[in-house]
Structure 1
Amino acid sequence: MTNDGRKARPTAAAPGREGAAATMATVAATWLGALSQEQLLLALYESPLDPEAEAERLRWFYTPTNHGGLAIREQSAYQQGLAMQLVASGLSEAGYATVATVMGLENTLDQVEGWRVDWGRERGRDPGLYWLRVFGRPGDPVWAWRFGGHHISLNNLIVADRLVSTTPCFIGADPARTVLLGGFLDPLGGIEGQARQLARTLSAPQLRQALLHPSAVSDIVSGNRPRVRRGDTMMHMQDLWRGSFSDPALARLVDDIDRRAEEASGYTEEDHARVAITVPPRGISARDLDEEQRHGLRRLLSLYTGRAPEDLAQEHGVRHASDGVLDEIHFSWSGSLDAGEPHYYRLHGPRVLIEYDNTQRLANHAHSVWRDPASDFGLDVLAEHRARAAH
């Protein structure tokens, strides 16, 4: 049924993971209730407990490919407003503003590229091509939702009325820095600048520990894998799409982007192995940092976990305030320490993997991702739920 009337906006729920889940359920149900049957075929999938639906839930992207779901541009203005309320329910105020800004950058990128890249669709860079999909009915014992498009991927799982996972969480920006009248737009500048500031405080021996490679790898190493594993190396551009291109021109375009990125980095297979994901992590451990540096590391962590709703962000902050937890996190860097030059950094511990690169388009195209190696997509909690249900 299509609801053309204007419903009351969902009200805020109690704080914490339960409150976040309740808010998400209310907003998601309102959005789904406003859609036509035809729209629901794209917007609503089976529960994550269904193997086919779960396989789709674990497919995520940050390229301008079809992310799966109902696109913003295929919705009425009222429906779009409800969709964006759901997006906002999974983010802090600052996180939502950053995501909204990145979506709008598609208009700028279209101009930067001379309005000529089509990616096999009517408009190659389209701020309306961000997809929202709900898995299972909001309020069910297990349900999830995903929002994504170019440079955005938000993944949320709710189990037993509790938000249990908000990762992988990807935010990129292209251009990373844009000229404005009287200033600049730099949506990821804070997380880049904080990391550079931390790296510059390292002594020569500390920097030798932290340095992964003199040159920056051309993309995040974990790519869009559903799970990060020891030995993973950077995924190439050709593997980051939903299927292969039937148009030979687009296939050549992707090959060319990858080739130019590799030539710019100068990386060989040996170089990629040098910056692979390892356990234990490479880089300098927080236990080898002084107190000021440890404060800088905590600040950097908070700029990623601060994407989550405020109560969850505070929960992460309390955990990282523990010296024992922080000691297990390693900070590593590759590339130049100079602003405007290609670089990559990583924070890696048992429950956190953060990657950032700004290398492409003459170091004006940034990617950032926050992951939980032990619980991306809430797979550990979901496995426990299945085990309990089996008994």
Structure 2
Amino acid sequence: MAGAARAWLDCLDADQRKTAAGPSPGADSEAEAERTRWFYTPTDHGGLTFHQQRPAQHRLAMRLIASGLSEAGYVTVATVLGLENVLDHFEDFSVNWGRERTRDPGMYYLRVFGEPGGSRPWGWRFGGHHVSLNNLVVDGHVVSTTPCFLGADPAASPLLGGATLRPLGTAEDLARELVRSLRPEAAARALLLSRAPNDIVTGNSPRIGERVVRRRELWRPGTHTPDRADHPVTGFDGADRRALALALPPKGVPGSDLDPHQKELLRSLLAGYLNRVPEEVSPMHRYADPAALHDVHLAWAGSTTAGESHYYRLQGPGLLIEWTNIHRGANHAHAVWRDPETDFGGDVLAAHHTAHHAR
């Protein structure tokens, strides 16, 4: 990963590097606020876009991106990038947000923070519409790969021969199969609300907490202003918002209440998220023991019928996964994996700085 990051930075000219390179993680509060400011909308994510790079530079950028993903994760990310062209066609090439092209597969941003492979912490961020990858390296180890967001719009689109392209389809199908397999009493506990929220509950918050994220926060200030900008991202307030709000202990049905087949479904569902990254850094190994699934809670909102709007989340120690498929007739998916304890590697970074300054 460090070699790929250095190769990309070294191939850039001075002006490109000013945009592509950021301060070391934890350098100061302003720099850290920018490193942990993330988006999944088609807004300015911060960094050098594909459009600003020559083909050879773009290739090296993709090499760095691939270094933080499993093979399946890389293929999925590449597919999501290509869906911008499909979405443009789906919308009849007509959406205009005041820039040269709105649905733009060249509007993806890469930035490296700090000196790759050096003694100080460093990291990188890649993002654009429906992609946000965040990696932090401390003492030569990848210590954080979250938030890790992927989306798909359309979530399902036709291929030749009657096949269907569904980049995130398994994450939808396994969760639906699991919730529909629950006994009535457990299903009632899993269902938080009969209606699905408009988006993931945590939105693009830098740190997971009780704060309500507003729609305007999904875009960088000075760029596109969404409709209903002051509304919660979920579209819900009052009792409905409280029903969906994160809590400790988590809401929903714990893995300890599942039978062996349901636990296997849960493990497979987790793998669809945690195996986005290379095996060496994935926390999936934690769940090899069925007992490790006991504290993972499944919660659901909306319909359990295929093709209808729905939301689910998996929440447990060091784990938060959220999924929505709501818009365009339930054909627009958002799927995020987060670690409430070490998103962006904040705690690990703080411990490193404490140890470093103590010497």
TM-score class, shorter: over 0.9
Report the residue type matching 1:108 in the other structure: V
Q: Distance in 2 between matches of 1:319 and 1:65?
A: 35
TM-superposed deviation, 1:362:
1.2
Cα displacement string for residues 344-383 of structure 1 (whole angstroms, at most 9, x for unaligned residues): 0000012100000000111110000000001101111001
TM-superposed deviation, 1:49:
2.6
Report the residue type matching 2:227 in the other structure: V
| Map 1:265-304 → 2, pairs under 5 A | 267-304=236-273
Question: Which consecutive unaligned segments of at least 5 residues does structure 2 have?
Answer: none
Contact 2:40–2:127, Cα closer than 8 Å, also in 1: yes
TM-superposed deviation, 1:202:
0.5
Cα displacement string for residues 186-226 of structure 1 (whole angstroms, at most 9, x for unaligned residues): 10101111111111110101101111111111100111111
* Other structure's SS at 2:240 match: helix
Cα displacement string for residues 42-69 of structure 1 (whole angstroms, at most 9, x for unaligned residues): 0011101311322111000001100000
Contact 2:263–2:290, Cα closer than 8 Å, also in 1: no
Give the equivalent residue in structure 2 for 1:150.
129
Q: Quick check: 1:197 aligned with 2:164?
A: no
| Map 1:180-219 → 2, pairs under 5 A | 180-182=159-161, 183-219=163-199
Give the equivalent residue in structure 2 for 1:169.
148
In the alignment of these two chains, the number of paired residues is 355
Contact 1:152–1:172, Cα closer than 8 Å, also in 2: yes
Contact 2:178–2:266, Cα closer than 8 Å, also in 1: yes
Contact 1:232–1:277, Cα closer than 8 Å, also in 2: no
TM-superposed deviation, 1:258:
6.8
Give the equivalent residue in structure 2 for 1:310.
279
Q: Distance in 1 between matches of 2:48 and 2:80?
A: 19
* Other structure's SS at 1:254 match: coil
Cα displacement string for residues 12-50 of structure 1 (whole angstroms, at most 9, x for unaligned residues): xxxxxxxxxxxx100010011110001000001110131
TM-superposed deviation, 1:325:
2.9
Q: Distance in 1 between matches of 2:103 and 2:314?
A: 31
Give the equivalent residue in structure 2 for 1:56.
34
Q: Distance in 2 between matches of 1:174 and 1:137?
A: 35
Contact 1:342–1:358, Cα closer than 8 Å, also in 2: yes
Q: Which 4+ stretches in 1 moved above 6 angstroms?
A: 256-261
With the length of structure 2 as denominator, give the TM-score of the two structures: 0.95
Aligned CA-pair RMSD: 1.8
Change (3 A) 1:215 1:370: same
Give the equivalent residue in structure 1 for 2:9.
32
With the length of structure 1 as denominator, give the TM-score of the two structures: 0.87
Q: Distance in 2 between matches of 1:117 and 1:147?
A: 24
Q: Quick check: 1:125 aligned with 2:103?
A: yes
Give the equivalent residue in structure 2 for 1:333.
300
Contact 2:201–2:233, Cα closer than 8 Å, also in 1: no
* Other structure's SS at 2:32 match: helix
Q: Distance in 1 between matches of 2:229 and 2:245?
A: 23
Contact 1:261–1:360, Cα closer than 8 Å, also in 2: no
Change (3 A) 1:256 1:47: closer
Change (3 A) 1:32 1:260: closer
Q: Quick check: 1:94 aligned with 2:67?
A: no
* Other structure's SS at 1:310 match: coil
Say which of 254, 261, 268 aligns to 2:227. Answer: 254
Change (3 A) 1:351 1:197: same
Q: Distance in 2 between matches of 1:303 and 1:260?
A: 25
Report the residue type matching 2:110 in the other structure: L
Report the residue type matching 2:277 in the other structure: A
Q: Distance in 2 between matches of 1:28 and 1:150?
A: 22
Q: Distance in 1 between matches of 2:198 and 2:136?
A: 30
Change (3 A) 1:63 1:74: same
Give the equivalent residue in structure 2 for 1:72.
50
Question: Which consecutive unaligned segments of at least 5 residues does structure 1 have?
Answer: 1-23
Contact 1:232–1:276, Cα closer than 8 Å, also in 2: no
TM-superposed deviation, 1:268:
4.1
Cα displacement string for residues 217-250 of structure 1 (whole angstroms, at most 9, x for unaligned residues): 1100111111102x344x33222111145xxxx5
Contact 1:176–1:365, Cα closer than 8 Å, also in 2: yes
Say which of 289, 303, 315 aligns to 1:348. Answer: 315
TM-superposed deviation, 1:119:
2.8
